[in-house]
Structure 1
């Protein structure tokens, strides 16, 4: 069997190693450059590869193709594969049959990384033999070769879910759905919503779907679709006999006739959206029958995720916060919503079809100045130009942070929450966040 892998990054190389181990003839093809450390791994494992091109006769003879999530379906080589009837899968779909581990799959437009890390933290603190993968950390396929975990917590993007056929997590979480990546879904929101719900399409009555019952897109999907999985909703406003909710500043969870309660003030994560992330992760912990004392301790000592509302430093009584991971409007909504002081907001980057009007009431209430950090800031300026007193355009992070320091006073917050992708000026949202933190430290 010939396995061809498009993309020589973490998921591609991980899949190559697993494929080789399982007796496939493996070939890796990357249209860009393959990083030196990955090349070395391919060479050591005797896996054939090419970079900066896709040689058709080496690809179209595949029995199966694993495509990295970053490659769109409309790229010419993928179109040709589909025309030729060659199955194109994601890493998750290819790798899952090679493990007997219980899989917890987490998707959503926002909150999925925090929920994934918190779920992993809860299970690991309880002494379970658990791996972390998918969209974060080490490749899932690679871990199946190197480790023997009983459980995996996988963060799954819509792109990874697009490439599944039989993949089935025992526990699935949909944290929320808001318009994102619409450029990959023919600018149709319903296509993106359907992609997220693929996480539950193969689930049976033995499985669970944990979801945000306050979310309009999720509620809309349930009006016209069903899943066989047992439903466990969570909400900030409703209460359930089976599910999770907040009442009188307590998180209350009831699953399989078992109750769990905890004062929200003891939960390390702050903000309403993080209460939802905590309810989702705790629901998993309850399903895995983790002791209440362990859950309470883990929720109170969780450190949070880098680049997600990360407090960097307080300088002259101004708090600097790195929320570089906010790559869409919905994520920035959560960030602005959790600000309690006058805010200097650094925003901008590659716009993915954003509607900034959703932020209008929060910007009027909380934002004193806007610093636009992007190649094209026209849309942001058009929407907020008349709303804030100060609006400034900059083209690098150092200028953004220096300007923010100038515009802020004692008791203010400087918030980097771009609401956009980072690729116009930075390598990634991580690079953007690191540059912000460095610039703040240099003040």
Structure 2
């Protein structure tokens, strides 16, 4: 009898895992508590994979030999606890897919900058002519690609939720960009639990693998003090010169890995802001470790186009630049966005707060922000933080209203920045929906 694999959640990762499981001869069942989108339902039907939606039939699920869980389902969900109490392994799609691939895995995590760095590296590897796939939190499902494509390399963006379901999976190059408080609601509001989750990216590394990490990050540096491994370490910094890894000195980026040395001027980077210096250093080190040609590394860092919904310039209206940074769902992301602004800012902020400490932004807000538009169902915490600090602070309960108010407050040669520092689920389906609505309303002005 074929082993039974149950997939919980029928989004990109779940359906991908189902396709791979079927290709490997498992008895596959997919269960989604919500409604499955037409795109994925059609795929399940075409592959003749058994599925249900709108419910979880426990008798069918608890008969599994192993369960692949969507990263969106919390580990503390009653069904997951029941599976674990019965000794049924619960893993992530990445863990499952990794068993069936011999490709080199370049894995990126961090509280911020993951998507930019992942896409930057994918761009670099493609430019270098490598046969590379893009997966994890971006691109297509890793499992689906492993089932039907034949890539030699994968660049993977990994969230803490994906890492939590990974046990035997091994990165060849692991990149840890930064750790700041985020998703603490999923980690018992204990920062160390979240830190431990991020550090799972280095589990199973061997001495022939590379760990690329930001040594300016205090949390990462503290963790590294207790870490003893033979893995190759490549730190990066914008504050100090290093013996190996990557650093910024004055305006020059230098990467020095295993005698592989590259320099380039900061002004030649395609993306502005100090956070993108970090992202570029991490990408450049990974490219060097892979032995990519120096000119391909330099070119890719200077012509990379950036990420939708991340400091995305929308349009200028009456001399006012509108910028969509809807992907900024935590304080740290918004800090980087404000840090990179050079003109006075009208800041659109708000949504579902994940335990934000807005005081971190006070110094930047004092210098850069002339007005705030609070976009959310409950804006009390934002008012408490910024009333009296900023001359104009108003409320909006829709994107249309937020854009109109910001347009009224801003003047020529100023910026309207949507950088919410919060999740989107109070008024929008997702951060993409929030960013798309922003762009649409700006174009309607």
- TM-score clears 0.5: yes
Shift of 1:223: 2.4
The reply on whether 1:165 has 2:167 as its aligned counterpart is yes
Segment drifting more, 146-155 vs 219-228: 219-228
Contact conserved, 1:201 with 1:227, CA < 8 A, in 2?
no
Q: Deviations over 1:108-148 (max 9, x none)?
A: 00000000000000000011000000011110000011210
2:156, 2:295 → 1: CA distance? 25
Shift of 1:258: 1.5
Shift of 1:248: 2.3
Residue 221 of structure 2 aligns with which residue? Answer: 219
Segment drifting more, 227-236 vs 376-385: 227-236
Instruction: Give 1:106's match in structure 2, choosing from 108, 133, 140.
Output: 108
Instruction: Give 1:197's match in structure 2, choosing from 196, 199, 208.
Output: 199
Correspondence list, 1:309-388, <5 A: 309-388=311-390
Residue 239 of structure 2 aligns with which residue? Answer: 237
Q: State the TM-score, normalizing by the size of structure 2.
A: 0.99
Contact conserved, 1:313 with 1:320, CA < 8 A, in 2?
yes
SS in 2 for 1:98: coil
Residue 53 of structure 1 aligns with which residue? Answer: 55
2:207, 2:179 → 1: CA distance? 24
The reply on whether 1:421 has 2:423 as its aligned counterpart is yes
Shift of 1:410: 1.1
Aligned CA-pair RMSD: 0.7
SS in 2 for 1:324: coil
2:124, 2:331 → 1: CA distance? 29
Residue 156 of structure 1 aligns with which residue? Answer: 158
Correspondence list, 1:26-37, <5 A: 26-37=28-39
Residue 433 of structure 1 aligns with which residue? Answer: 435
1:37, 1:410 → 2: CA distance? 44
1:110, 1:94 → 2: CA distance? 26
1:291, 1:425 → 2: CA distance? 46
Q: Deviations over 1:362-408 (max 9, x none)?
A: 11111111000011111000010110001101001011011111000
SS in 1 for 2:224: helix
SS in 2 for 1:231: strand
Q: Deviations over 1:61-89 (max 9, x none)?
A: 10000000000011111010000000000
Shift of 1:227: 3.9
SS in 1 for 2:228: coil
Shift of 1:225: 3.1
SS in 1 for 2:99: helix
2:197, 2:63 → 1: CA distance? 28
Instruction: Give 2:394's match in structure 1, choosing from 381, 392, 395.
Output: 392
1:253, 1:54 → 2: CA distance? 51
Q: Deviations over 1:210-255 (max 9, x none)?
A: 0111001101211233344211000001111111001121110000
Q: Deviations over 1:274-311 (max 9, x none)?
A: 00000001111111111111112211111000100011
Q: State the TM-score, normalizing by the size of structure 1.
A: 0.99
Gaps of 5+ in 1: none
Contact conserved, 1:371 with 1:404, CA < 8 A, in 2?
yes
Contact conserved, 1:7 with 1:68, CA < 8 A, in 2?
yes
1:240, 1:143 → 2: CA distance? 38
SS in 2 for 1:321: strand
Residue 145 of structure 1 aligns with which residue? Answer: 147
1:442, 1:381 → 2: CA distance? 28
Contact conserved, 1:135 with 1:155, CA < 8 A, in 2?
yes
Contact conserved, 1:373 with 1:393, CA < 8 A, in 2?
yes
